[in-house]
Amino acid sequence: MKIAFIGIGKVGFALANQLQKHGHTIYVGNDNPNSDSVLKALKANPEFIAKNVSQAVKVSELVFLATPYHSNQQVLANLPFEGKTLIDCTNPVGAGITHALKSEQSGSEMVQQLAPDASVVKAFTIYGYENFEDSSFPAYNVKPAMLIAGNSQTAKQEAAAIISQLGFECVDTGPLSQSLHLEHMTLLWVKMVRMYQNPNFVWGYMQR
């Protein structure tokens, strides 16, 4: 699959690198030809193909957004999504590990407003990038759960296929409005990392 990454820092690189190793073609979108993160990513994985953001979106079948949340308004302006799935990995985290939108609206609903002709799915947000670099927990007979939210079933199926390929169990939490709760899970996860001084932990989903 042709996959574009807008943002190839800690999260973007961890996911793009794994996906490239699974055989996907990765287009790194950035309008700054001297971007530190793009140069570093291309050095670490020479299979990546750099383009400007608009071209990367245009040639791809699926797009990941892994930018600082505050950049999104500028980053997403006028991109040619043409109905494609946009996996939103961004989190609106404010000062003191709070919800930057005061919990009045989720960041992903805001992303959907900024990219109205994309089908936004929130995913890869509830853990740190360390668990995207390596999703294996060999001491447990359960895959890490990846909770997602989105309004399009088709887009969520597309996200689920990628999530499963990366070693997670995809758990659909419902419409995009559920993203607010996922963003609070992120805040909890970050606060637990600070408390336990360990980012290498995930949630499991068990049902009966």
* Contact residues: ligand NAP, CB under 6 A: 6-12, 30-32, 35-37, 53, 66-69, 71, 74-75, 89-91, 93, 125, 128-129
Q: How far is the CB of 13 from ligand NAP (least distance, A)?
A: 7
Q: How far is the CB of 187 from ligand NAP (least distance, A)?
A: 11
Q: Which is closer to ligand NAP, CB of 52 or CB of 164?
A: 52
End-to-end CA distance of the chain: 35
Q: What SS3 class is residue 93?
A: strand
Q: Which residues contact 186 (CB under 8 A, 6 or more apart)?
A: 91, 93, 125, 126
Q: Residue 49: beta bridge partners? A: 27
Q: Which is closer to ligand NAP, CB of 98 or CB of 141?
A: 98
Q: How far is the CB of 43 from ligand NAP (least distance, A)?
A: 13
Q: Which is closer to ligand NAP, CB of 6 or CB of 170?
A: 6
Q: Please provide the DSSP assignment of 115-155 as one string.
A: STTSEEEE-S-SS-THHHH----TT-SSPPEEEEEES-HHH
Among 159, 81, 149, 165, which residue's Cα sits nearest to residue 115? Answer: 81
- Residue sitting closest to ligand NAP (CB): 9
Q: Which is closer to ligand NAP, CB of 9 or CB of 144?
A: 9
Q: Dihedrals φ, ψ of 120, to 5°?
A: -85, 135
Q: How far is the CB of 88 from ligand NAP (least distance, A)?
A: 9
Q: How far is the CB of 97 from ligand NAP (least distance, A)?
A: 11
Strands 93-94 and 98-99: antiparallel
Tokens 């049902």 locate to 207
Q: How far is the CB of 136 from ligand NAP (least distance, A)?
A: 17
Q: Which is closer to ligand NAP, CB of 8 or CB of 202?
A: 8
Q: Which is closer to ligand NAP, CB of 136 or CB of 154?
A: 136
What is the SS3 string spanning 148-203?
EEECCHHHHHHHHHHHHHCCCEEEECCCHHHHHHHHHHHHHHHHHHHHHCCCCCCC
